[in-house]
């Protein structure tokens, strides 16, 4: 769309979304870039704030606490079962915002496009972003597009930044886990990472496996309504649950004890992990959260989570303990204990 | 730094900032990434909000109008006379925020690093960002780091997102230019683009030329204090003054008339443009702004600008006229007129 809905000189040509490609000229700031913005981004993301067409979006804010979070997305392949880089870039940043207990309000998106990238793929990605943003009711209000030469990028990278408003009385932070607290997860672990790995390795198992990529804003809103005194929320993306828990343990200066038999893991994920030599605790999730709360709040919180479609398989998987070494440990199915250490090497590159 | 200032197990090794390189493992979410964050980003950007070490930063907001802007930076080469991608990524986004008249408050930064990129260069860039943010008093409060394989990126791309607060009574927007308004620029045109081009082409002129990369927050604060009724502010980056004015003309549904003899252009920029076949009106600036105001406000606004070190060469370069074609025209030195059209081709790729 053009400003004020009028067609101005030079804006009558349509981009070829069937056979066209991203060209360097689409990043020049000139006519071609304006065409790309008008015919693709403005059309897909259309909302009042974006239609201001300034280099910044202006909106009303309220007094209180706000949060801001940013995530660059470089996942490969760009399209995968259960999503694509577009929906992932919306879900990922919304989830980072809501892990503070906040209601997400606005998103910004920066695109780095590689010369030669098919416009048809870009359109599919942008429309998927738009759909994800619309479903979460978090509009994309401002953005930027850059183009780099063929060989200097990899199709498309998307950096999304989100802001949100924290309700009064909610104080969730990764340094608030206390000995005795219960550790919950909202569902099965490792689905995203394994779905991507199977695609990369061209493997398939009997059971179809999809990324769990999803926006957790609604689940979190229900959780903080039930348990305003939630201590910690964290989405276990890169590095999986093990990494997220080690970070929380370090920040809260506590240890953790997990129970292997309580971990919700889909059978095909377990099978794929065995086959690929991966530990599902270290595999990325994109639509799951870890919650840590007082022991007396845990059952009610779990019951609330079970009523939500994105947390049907939620479970209490462990508890916070005193430990000045800040170790995350696990009681195995056979009654032994092992340390669930920080990930030392590279497990799954470019998983998000 | 580590959380709470304590050294936790596994955090004792130092990164090799002299001879080390970015490795895929620095993007894994595990121990190596935490080391990079602790030893580089946290150290350089250190502030209370960043030290929350959550996946989002939480801050107090005030009731009123906020703005949000994002920019991905892919400039090549990464280091240039007058700046580097680090300082540019701070200046660029602060400038987009302040072109609404806002006071910038916080920045987020997303890094996409290429495997093999020297840690020494990354450190130099991050420290330059930190310095630029500190000088502007706009802290970088949250961030993200991704690593892509060698050949899938180009050293480092940085996406910065800024938020700011618009003072009451200020309503600046690119659709507010009105016939009769005066058009001002804050200084010499094309310095950034030509500095980069001379570097790329390995050319030098008698006179040293530097990028004008600078943060315009202070200049804008003084301008809106003098002229609260400013109509339009815009920083003429990619595509230069010609592109910015064409965008404003389109959004405001007006035409413009520029006066060639009023354009402030440094002699070496003029000479380089002639040599390279470029028009300085289309060349990028990174520390300049266009202001459009009522004719009766223009002289006082110009006087205010002249008192600021970043606008010593400010000038009134033209005026807004009625024109339903939304043409930007220029009266040449010889008394003729020509249309200053949209940039059709690619002039200077990866200039910001």
pLDDT for A134 beyond 60? yes
Give B99-143 pLDDT, tens digit per residue: 999 999 999 999 999 999 999 999 999 999 999 999 999 999 999
Residue A251 C-alpha, separation from nearest chain B C-alpha, in angstroms? 6
Q: Please list every residue in chain B whose beta carbon sits closer than 8 Å to the beta carbon of residue A243.
A: 29-30
Residue B348 C-alpha, separation from nearest chain A C-alpha, in angstroms? 7
pLDDT for A112 beyond 50? yes
Residue A215 C-alpha, separation from nearest chain B C-alpha, in angstroms? 15
pLDDT for B1 beyond 80? no
- Report residue B348's pLDDT band, with 50, 70 and 90 as the boundaries: confident
pLDDT for B9 beyond 90? no
- Report residue B50's pLDDT band, with 50, 70 and 90 as the boundaries: very high
Domains of chain A in start order, with CATH, are 24-166 (3.30.1330.10), 182-339 (3.90.650.10)
Who among B9, B70, B142 is closest to A142 (CB)?
A: B70
B328 close to B246: Cβ distance less than 8 angstroms: yes
Give B234-243 pLDDT, tens digit per residue: 999 999 999 9
Which of A56, A115, A283 is the best residue to mutate to test the B interface, defined by the most B CB atoms within 10 Å of its own CB?
A56
Handedness of CA B250, B256, B260, B261 (dihedral sign): negative
Give B128-186 pLDDT, tens digit per residue: 999 999 999 999 999 999 999 999 999 999 999 999 999 999 999 999 999 999 999 99
Q: Please list every residue in chain B whose beta carbon sits closer than 8 Å to the beta carbon of residue A32.
A: 344
φ, ψ (nearest 5 deg) of residue A346 = -95, 120
Q: What is the DSSP string of B152-168?
A: SS-SEEEEEEEEEEEPT
In chain B, the residue whose alpha carbon lies closest to the alpha carbon of A98 is B56
Look at residue A7 in the predicted model and tell me its pLDDT.
37
pTM summary value: 0.95
CB contact under 8 A, A60 and B65: yes
Using CA atoms of A167, A171, A174, A176 in order, give the dihedral in degrees to the nearest 10: -160
CB contact under 8 A, B62 and A65: no
Q: Please list every residue in chain B whose beta carbon sits closer than 8 Å to the beta carbon of residue A175.
A: 3, 52-53
Pairing of strands A83-84, A79-80: antiparallel
Handedness of CA A81, A83, A89, A91 (dihedral sign): negative
CB contact under 8 A, B250 and A8: yes
Length of chain B: 352
Look at residue A348 in the predicted model and tell me its pLDDT.
84
Who among A3, A143, A342 is closest to B31 (CB)?
A: A342
In chain B, the residue whose alpha carbon lies closest to the alpha carbon of A4 is B251
The neighbouring-strand residues paired with B293 are B182
Residue B152 C-alpha, separation from nearest chain A C-alpha, in angstroms? 5
pLDDT for B207 beyond 70? no
Look at residue B10 in the predicted model and tell me its pLDDT.
47
Give A215-272 pLDDT, tens digit per residue: 999 999 999 999 999 999 999 999 999 999 999 999 999 999 999 999 999 999 999 9
pLDDT for B6 beyond 50? no
pLDDT for A159 beyond 60? yes
CB contact under 8 A, A56 and B100: yes
Q: What is the C-alpha separation between B201 and B198, in angstroms, rounded?
A: 5
Q: How many helices (H) and strands (E) does chain A have?
A: 9, 14
pLDDT for B8 beyond 50? no
pLDDT for A286 beyond 80? yes
Who among A31, A143, A343 is closest to B29 (CB)?
A: A343
Give A18-49 pLDDT, tens digit per residue: 999 999 999 988 889 999 999 999 999 999 99
- Report residue A13's pLDDT band, with 50, 70 and 90 as the boundaries: confident
Question: DSSP class of residue B68?
Answer: E
Tally the C-alpha atoms within 13 A of residue B220's C-alpha that lie toward its C-beta.
32
CB contact under 8 A, B70 and A28: no
Average pLDDT, chain A: 93
CB contact under 8 A, B25 and A72: no
The neighbouring-strand residues paired with A66 are A165, B59
- Report residue A3's pLDDT band, with 50, 70 and 90 as the boundaries: very low
Who among A28, A97, A173 is closest to B238 (CB)?
A: A28
**pLDDT, average across residues B13-18:** 90
> Which residues, 6+ apart, have CB-to-CB distance to B213 below 8 Å?
B82, B83, B87, B88, B91, B192, B286, B287
% of chain A residues with pLDDT over 90: 88
- Report residue A205's pLDDT band, with 50, 70 and 90 as the boundaries: low
CB contact under 8 A, B61 and A61: yes
Q: What is the C-alpha separation between A109 and A162, in angstroms, rounded?
A: 9
Residue A65 C-alpha, separation from nearest chain B C-alpha, in angstroms? 4
Interface predicted TM-score of the whole assembly (ipTM), two decimals: 0.95
Burial group, residue B338, by CB count within 10 angstroms (0-12, 13-18, 19+): exposed
């Amino acid at each position: 769309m053009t400003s004020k809905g009028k067609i101005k000189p030079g804006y009558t040509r349509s981009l070829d979304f069937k056979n066209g490609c991203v060209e360097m000229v689409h990043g020049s700031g000139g006519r071609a870039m304006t065409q790309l913005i008008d015919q693709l981004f403005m059309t897909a993301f259309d909302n009042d704030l974006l239609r201001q067409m300034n280099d910044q979006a202006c909106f009303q804010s309220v007094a209180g606490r706000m949060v801001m979070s940013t995530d660059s997305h470089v996942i490969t392949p760009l399209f995968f079962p259960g999503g694509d880089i577009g929906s992932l870039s919306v879900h990922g940043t919304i989830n980072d915002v809501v892990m503070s207990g906040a209601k997400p309000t606005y998103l910004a998106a920066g695109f780095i496009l590689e010369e030669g990238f098919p416009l048809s793929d870009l359109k599919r990605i942008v429309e998927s972003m738009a759909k994800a943003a619309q479903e979460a009711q978090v509009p994309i209000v401002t953005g930027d597009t850059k183009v780099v030469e063929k060989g200097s990028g990899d199709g498309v990278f998307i950096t999304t930044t989100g802001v949100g408003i924290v309700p009064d009385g909610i104080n969730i932070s990764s340094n608030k886990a206390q000995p005795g607290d219960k550790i919950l997860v909202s569902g099965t672990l490792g689905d995203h990472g394994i779905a991507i790995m199977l695609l990369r390795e061209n493997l398939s198992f009997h059971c179809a496996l999809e990324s769990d990529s999803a926006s957790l804003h609604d689940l979190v809103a229900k959780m903080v309504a039930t348990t305003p005194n939630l201590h910690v929320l964290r989405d276990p993306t890169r590095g999986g649950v093990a990494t997220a828990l080690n970070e929380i343990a370090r920040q809260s200066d506590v240890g953790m004890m997990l129970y292997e038999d309580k971990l919700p893991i889909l059978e095909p994920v377990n099978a794929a992990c065995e086959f690929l030599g991966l530990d599902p605790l270290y595999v990325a999730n994109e639509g799951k959260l870890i919650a840590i709360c007082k022991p007396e709040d845990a059952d009610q919180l779990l019951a609330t989570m079970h009523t939500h479609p994105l947390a049907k398989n939620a479970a209490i998987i462990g508890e916070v303990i005193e430990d000045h070494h800040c170790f995350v440990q696990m009681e195995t199915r056979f009654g032994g204990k092992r340390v669930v250490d920080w990930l030392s090497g590279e497990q799954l590159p470019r998983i998000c």
